[in-house]
Chain A
Amino acid sequence: MAFREINSKMVEATVLPGQRLFSQRGAMLAYRGDVSFTPNVQGGQGGLMSMLGRRVTGEATPLMSVEGSGTVFFGHGGHHVHVIHLTGDTLYVEADRLLAFEGTLRQGTMFMGSQGGVMGLVRGQVTGQGLFTTTLQGQGSVAVMAHGGVFEIPITPQHPVHVDPQAYVAHHGEVRNKLSAALGWREMVGRGSGEAFQLELSGSGTVFVQASEEKL
């Protein structure tokens, strides 16, 4: 368990020799010990192709790798920080929400259009998340940022969860997500409820929701 929440906006990470962390550039608040921060050209893990993939898909967020031995404190922009522990499953999260994650996690990029077809594409447009999202897979922990506090909602096959696309932070598990639109004539004449688009998550897993509709 590399990350420890100090308060709602700050995490402490222990860096040991041979164990690498990745973090968003500029997100270090303080450190103890002998720790080096190297800007990561590739923007994460994987080879050259992964890097190109991230560049092309716009999921390349400026990362730096943190190595050495000591303690590092992370926080960024006054955003709330939430630590998620992964035990072998895959976390889907936008790259710019990643504050820090352990080097043991495999980083990938996923095409959102592959889930939900055309609505998947519309989803990317509506939520402003784009068509691609970052995946992290393996054993380790991730610190994600959110505007406002984060809470978890379990998703079970019987109970699909609807989330406002702007309040969605991340999800993990065997989850299908699709954008459900409730567009009617009211939306057309500008008298909509403002909740025309919702993200419907079904399957089994967990979705992380922020207590705000403001994006990072």
Chain B
Amino acid sequence: MSTYGTPGAGPTGPVVHDPMTLPADDNVNAYTFCVELKSGQWFLQKGKMIAYYGAIEFNGIGHGRLDRLVRTSFHSPLHASDWVVAEGSGRMLLADRAFDVNSYDLDDGNLTIRAGNLLAFQPSLALKQSIVPGFLTLIGTGKFVAASNGPVVFMEPPIRVDPQALVGWADCPSPCHHYDHGYLTGVLGGLRAMTGLGGVSGEEHQFEFVGAGTVLLQSSESLMDETATGAVPAEPGVPGGGVPGPGGHGQQPPGAPRLPGQLGDLQRRFGL
């Protein structure tokens, strides 16, 4: 038989929580995470808090006394307005549109995650923009909460990952692009590429990971909404810095890599 567990609901029906029985810094069910605050702080993305017990204050970052947080924990002031500081004592529940939510512990480590997937993190972690556009890197020791479309699966390199299924990676050297277009070569393949007959497999382009580390995959190819990671300084040599925004031709556009789709696109890319 299949397994279709109903999270949080036992055979006797839904579990009723009160402030005492709510888990501290753990998942309530697959879609909700409970954070315990003991006169501490947490950073969360705007609009991801669904309920709380106790005395918790939510403040936008970058105003008044919270100004120095930007300096100490964000390092990239330009997207700090998307974040909220929760301060006080109590328990708060985080969720994001019934996506699967998971917490991760970093112990003096680093993890790079797609910006849209990150929901909340402890201030002991430093959030930085990744060199890879659209990604954020968390460095240090602490806990963070991330959402994904379908449960997250951890994989060891070497592995090649569909760009839409990638959530993030830890301790890995930066990923590189990999192209599978073997079927577009040769006589038949050339014919295929020229006429467009037969279509494309949609799997011509992957991210390749090698070396030691962990790759985080979500179980679906539906991306979460993008969130701004903030602009990077427009200097030569900074990826994504030169031409802001996608749509720049002539070079690989920053942000999301071009999706395999149109055949003309493929031909140009493979130089056919």
**Residues of A in contact with B (beta carbons under 8 Å apart):** 5-10, 25-32, 36-41, 62, 64, 73, 75-80, 82, 148-152, 211
Contacts and interface: CB of A to CB of B under 8 A. Distances in A.
Interface of B: 1-4, 149-151, 153, 155, 158-162, 165, 180, 182-183, 197-203, 206, 215, 217, 219-222
B199 A62 contact: yes
Contact of B153 (A6, A37, A40): A6
B165 A82 contact: no
Given A25-B201, A26-B201, A75-B150, 20 more contacts: A7-B153, A8-B150, A10-B153, A10-B217, A25-B203, A26-B203, A28-B203, A29-B217, A30-B159, A30-B165, A30-B215, A36-B183, A37-B180, A62-B199, A75-B220, A76-B221, A78-B149, A149-B3, A150-B4, A151-B4
A80 B206 CA distance: 23
Please name the 7 residue pairs, one residue from A and one from B, whose CB atoms are nearest each other, closest first.
Answer: A149-B4, A26-B202, A10-B219, A9-B219, A78-B220, A9-B150, A29-B165
A28 B158 CA distance: 16
Nearest to A151: B2
Contacts of A76: 220-221
Select the residue from B1, B2, B221 with max chain A CB neighbours within 10 A: B2
Contacts of A5: 3
Nearest to B259: A26
B2 A39 contact: no
Contacts, number: 112
Chain B interface SS verdict (over half): loop
A32 B158 contact: yes
Nearest to B158: A32
13 contacts: A8-B150, A8-B151, A9-B150, A10-B150, A10-B151, A26-B203, A30-B160, A30-B162, A30-B215, A39-B201, A64-B203, A79-B220, A82-B2
Given A6-B153, A77-B220, A28 B199 contact: no
A145 to B, nearest CB: 10
Given A7-B219, A75-B220, A32 B159 contact: yes
B198 A41 contact: yes
B177 to A, nearest CB: 14
B161 A29 contact: yes
B158 A37 contact: no
A39 B200 contact: yes
